[in-house]
């Protein structure tokens, strides 16, 4: 299963495999798309779009985390009004129950970058996949949609020092520099672990990684 961590065909194939049961349901291929469209319609007015959200409520079991960051373009200028869709497992490693499917993730949310390009969300640290002997690193999935560009996936949030991180993950993170997807968490007030991740909007990447019906091609 080690190929599943590649940020391309292997990764997409893995996601498809772990949702095999869910794919048998007639509505499944469009499920995330439906959720994302709901968010868009709910906050049709840009002034109402939240730039900070809580993915997991306070009573959700698990270690609390707070992630913030900025969204930039290729010229290093902040990009406002970028939609950031997030979903993850709970602390026990389940997306949903009784069917464990990322397309039906219970812990999910949509946040937008503000006028200065900043975003923020709180959650709990996700667990490793509960139904795998060799799971990938614990992670939070993320899709981006900047104005005028297609909805697309980017590398998941990983966490520094977490089990199952591979050398290729660390090497890629070093190449990305301040846009690394591996987050260093530090303990802040109220024992909430805090981290930072910035995004760079790349039109070529958006085209290459664009979603179909809200899902990986």
- The domains of the chain are located at 2-208
β-bridge pairing 152-159 and 186-187? unpaired
- Tell me the C-alpha distance between 107 and 54, whole Å: 10
The predicted-structure confidence for 8-60, as pLDDT tens digits, reads as follows 444 554 444 444 433 333 444 444 554 555 555 566 677 789 999 999 999 99
The predicted-structure confidence for 127-173, as pLDDT tens digits, reads as follows 999 988 889 999 999 999 999 999 999 999 999 999 899 999 999 99
- Tell me the C-alpha distance between 125 and 106, whole Å: 14
- Give pTM, 2 decimals: 0.82
Closest CA to 59 of 137, 133, 124: 124
For the domain bounded by 2-208, which CATH number is listed? 2.60.130.10
């Amino acid at each position: 299963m080690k190929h599943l961590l590649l940020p391309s065909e292997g990764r997409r194939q893995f996601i498809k495999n772990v949702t095999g049961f869910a794919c048998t349901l007639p509505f499944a291929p469009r499920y995330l798309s439906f959720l994302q469209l709901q968010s868009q319609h709910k906050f049709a007015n840009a002034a109402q779009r939240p730039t900070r959200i809580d993915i997991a409520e306070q009573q959700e079991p698990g270690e609390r985390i707070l992630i913030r960051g900025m969204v930039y373009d290729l010229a290093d200028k902040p990009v406002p009004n970028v939609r950031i869709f997030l979903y993850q497992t709970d602390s026990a490693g389940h997306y949903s129950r009784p069917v464990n499917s990322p397309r039906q993730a219970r812990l999910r949310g949509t946040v937008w970058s503000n006028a200065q390009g900043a975003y923020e969300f709180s959650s709990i640290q996700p667990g490793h996949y509960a139904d795998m002997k060799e799971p990938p690193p614990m992670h939070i999935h993320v899709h981006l949609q900047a104005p005028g560009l297609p909805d697309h996936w980017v590398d998941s949030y990983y966490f520094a020092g977490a089990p199952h991180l591979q050398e290729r993950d660390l090497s890629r993170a070093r190449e990305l520099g301040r846009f690394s997807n591996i987050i260093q968490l530090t303990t802040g007030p109220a024992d909430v672990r805090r981290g930072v991740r910035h995004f760079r909007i790349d039109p070529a990447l958006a085209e290459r990684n664009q979603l179909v019906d809200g899902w990986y091609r």
